Amino acid sequence: MTIIKLIKCKVKEGQHESFSNGQLAWEALRHCEGFEGQCGGWTQSREALVLGKWCSSGDVAQFMASVHDSIFLKSNQEATYSECDIHYLEHCHSIVPLVTKNNAPGSGVISVSRHDNISDVDRFMHDQTNIWHPVLIRAEGMLGCFISVSTLHSDCFLVVTHWQSFSDYEHFKESTLLREEQQNEPQRYLCDLSECLVNEEVSWRVFPENTKEKSMY
């Protein structure tokens, strides 16, 4: 099962540039067995958020037991943040736009929505694949989306959507999202929903060596 690794760091005041420079050390991931991609950037509250994708939990375990510590030491990031939260999730579903853009050359915007305590998981997944999938693949500026479920809590899901620009995200939210929510009433099974927007840092992108398809989706 494909694994999504979510890392969120509360970076100390005045340490954002140092953290970002240290993030370049993770370019070494491109040589790791089972690694499929990584991207990230800054939330609106200036926290660092990084998303990684791996072929399996075994590949993650092998990475953590082998080269992780040496890369981490090389990054010099430990002194740049006060908190670091890591979550593992299993990939459930991907959405690729009708017109593939092979990832935008410039920085984009990543919407990270966390859905906790879902009362009807089957309905949630049905709506994601049958309602939101057809809508998103046609959305202007949508670069890709994936849905994943927590490895610890089966009623906790993460929906990550990558947009070419903030204006594309806002246009979708105002023209389509609100209308679909009114029609389909997801609040019937959604209890706790939180979202953060991430301004992507292009320099944080890492993809496996010798791969032509540079996308997380």
- Read off the DSSP letter of residue 99: S
List, in sequence order, the alpha helices (H) in the chain. Answer: 16-23, 57-65, 68-75, 121-127, 133-136, 166-172, 178-184
Residue 97 has a pLDDT of 72
Outline where DSSP puts E strands in 128-171: 142-150, 157-163
Give a yes or no: residue 168 inside a domain: yes
**Residues whose CB is less than 8 angstroms from the CB of residue 78 and which lie 6 or more positions away in sequence, other chains included:** 72
Model pTM?
0.90
Query: Could you tell me the CATH number of the domain that includes residue 189?
Result: 3.30.70.100
Inside any domain, residue 211: no
Paired residues of 94 in beta bridges: 146
Q: Supply the pLDDT for residue 180.
A: 59
Q: What is the mean pLDDT of each run of 10 residues along the chain (217 residues)?
A: 97 98 98 96 98 98 98 98 98 79 69 92 88 87 94 95 94 75 58 89 93 75
CA angle at 193 for the pair 187 and 197, rounded to the nearest 5°: 130
214 inside domain: no
> How many structural domains compose the chain?
1
Query: 164 is in which domain, residue-wise?
Result: 3-204
